[in-house]
Amino acid sequence: MPWIRRSFLVLMLTLACAPKQPEPESPPPKPNIDPGRVSTKAPETPPPGKEPEEEEPPQPMVPPEAAYSHGWMALGSTGVENFLQQHPTFDGRGVLIGILDTGIDPGIQGLLTTSTDTPKLLDLRDFSHEGSVPLRPVTPVGDSIEIGGHRLRGFGRVAAVSTGGPYYGGTIAELPLGEPPASDLNGNGNDSDTLPLVVTRATDGWVLFADTDGDGSLAGERPVHDYLVSRESFGWARRGRPPGMNLAANFSANGKDPQLDLVFDSYSHGSHVAGIAAGHDMYGVTGFNGVAPGAQLLGLKIANSAQGSITTSGSLVRAVEYAIQFAQTRRLPLVLNLSFGVGNEVEGTARIDGIIDSILAANPALVGLFLPQVPVHRGSIQVAYANPRVFTLAAGVQLLGRQFDDDQNVRAVGTAALADAGYKASTAPGLPAYAVVDLMASRAIGRAIGNNFEVFFGVQNLFDKQYFVQTGPSTLGTPRLVNGGIRVRISGR
């Protein structure tokens, strides 16, 4: 039976009075959701002879307990909490999520272990090369070594781990990494530093050493392996203080010589997305979780934060290919999150469409899976007639071609599901095309008082067409909706 909803708008004025409520003792802090990069003041240059003041370790914008108690990780309104109450083990365990973004900070509490106490962050890779560190052979002199104008003592620590050399040195400059304080890697209040690194081969692969506490010595420093090998990270800070940013190492080989990329998230967006997707007990607060606290993560950096977090199709392709190979090797189902988009393009002609097509062509095992497709044919028609002395009439038609939920466009919808939605039985693939007609009419009344009143009448889905707005099928579109009323235009001088 057609469902007709009628609602008539009546002009009325309502005055509401209420007793004054007591002021809350401490109003909850206001959330700032995904603020992105905010322009900051350039650091002031200290007077000659005065060192810049060290920055305080970064703190969350609000206490994590407050964020959790106010429900700012909106799992309730999205239905996640109810779902997990009914299915406690359906929390992403056994699934790998690749975050293609600005990187992930490997030291954030809540991105270290899953709900089953397995490692959360399986690997970090930098495909943007923002953290590329050119290396050259270096030779120690006694117990010290010079790299980029920096003399470091305590080289015996490196020699004790090395298989006997060779040794390589390189530097990373803070200034090209964007705006402070994110670019101030060592947190000394100055983003113009150049920080030296030493690389050598240990018995279990390439390692780097850094003067992380800034005392001019490598004595007491620990070797840092490739993140995939040992899930180690490091950061610069004065002794006894936590680093403001945690970094990981990526090693590759160029012949016999090593290549080094440092992975870090100075923009914070990738870490932000990772926490929403799969955070577990964020900042040590029990129950402060993301959507899938049982899932494991791949941090795939494709954006150069110093250049406005732009990315290239090359870094995107390499990251996706790496994620597919990583998941296939470990026989893990893979989900990819890409918080990047393209401008308006003709469907199928955007560069990202070609990228996905090439990836599917190179990975036949992915073809045939249920990947919802945008209809090939869609459009709209609008017609209007306006005569202020008579009336205004407008009609619109929305047209949508067949919808498919598999990338081969061959999967048919079950006959029973079609019947439940009012469709005729069909063995054709996809969902039937549909067209919806909307109508609206209006007329000015009360000309004697300045045409301030207008009566209107409208109908959405005029012919009460039943249709699906999602493949599956899962969701019906809006039924016929009738509305009308009087509009009043109030203008002042």
Find out whether 115 and 282 touch, Cβ atoms under 8 Å: no
- The residue among 436 and 120 whose pLDDT is bigger is 120
248-254: strand order across its sheet: 132-133, 257-263, 248-254
The count of C-alpha atoms lying within 13 angstroms of the C-alpha of 183, restricted to the half-sphere facing its C-beta, is 23
Q: Which residues have C-beta within 8 Å of that of residue 48, sequence separation ≥ 6? A: none
pTM of the model: 0.67
Higher pLDDT: 378 or 131? It is 131
- Distances, alpha carbon 287 to alpha carbons 68, 182, 206, 215, 341, in Å: 8, 29, 38, 40, 32
What pLDDT is recorded for position 402?
77
In sequence order, what are the residues at sequence separation of 6 or more whose Cβ sits closer than 8 angstroms to the Cβ of residue 50? none
Q: pLDDT tens-digit profile of 12-36?
A: 222 233 333 344 444 444 444 333 3
Please give the share of the chain, as a percent, with pLDDT higher than 90.
47
Instruction: Taking residues 337-345, report their average pLDDT.
Output: 71
Whether residue 37 has pLDDT greater than 50: no
**In this structure, what DSSP letter does residue 305 have?**
G
Encode pLDDT of 421-466 as tens digits. 666 766 677 777 788 899 999 888 865 555 678 888 999 888 887 7
Q: What mean pLDDT is predicted for residues 477-493? A: 75
- 41 or 417: which carries more pLDDT confidence? 417
What was the pLDDT predicted at 433? 78
Mean pLDDT estimate for the chain? 81
Question: What does the pLDDT look like over 378-423, one tens digit per residue?
Answer: 788 989 988 877 888 999 998 877 777 666 666 666 666 666 666 6
Taken in order of first residue, the domains within the chain and their CATH numbers are 64-128+268-366 (3.40.50.200), 132-259 (no CATH), 374-488 (no CATH)
Q: Calculate mean pLDDT across residues 75-94.
A: 91
Name the percent of the chain lying above pLDDT 70: 73
With cut-offs at 50, 70 and 90, classify the pLDDT of residue 140. Answer: very high
Give me the phi and psi of 173, to 5 degrees please: -95, 140
Contact (CB, 8 A) for 260 and 227: no
* Residue 65 scores a pLDDT above 80: yes
DSSP state of 401: -
Residue 233: pLDDT band with limits 50, 70, 90: very high
- Better-predicted residue by pLDDT, 179 or 6: 179
Contacts of 472 (CB under 8 A, 6+ apart): 405
**If phi over 0 gives left and psi between -120 and 50 gives alpha, with beta otherwise, what is residue 405?**
alpha
For position 135, what pLDDT does the model report? 96
Tell whether the model's pLDDT for residue 334 goes beyond 60.
Answer: yes
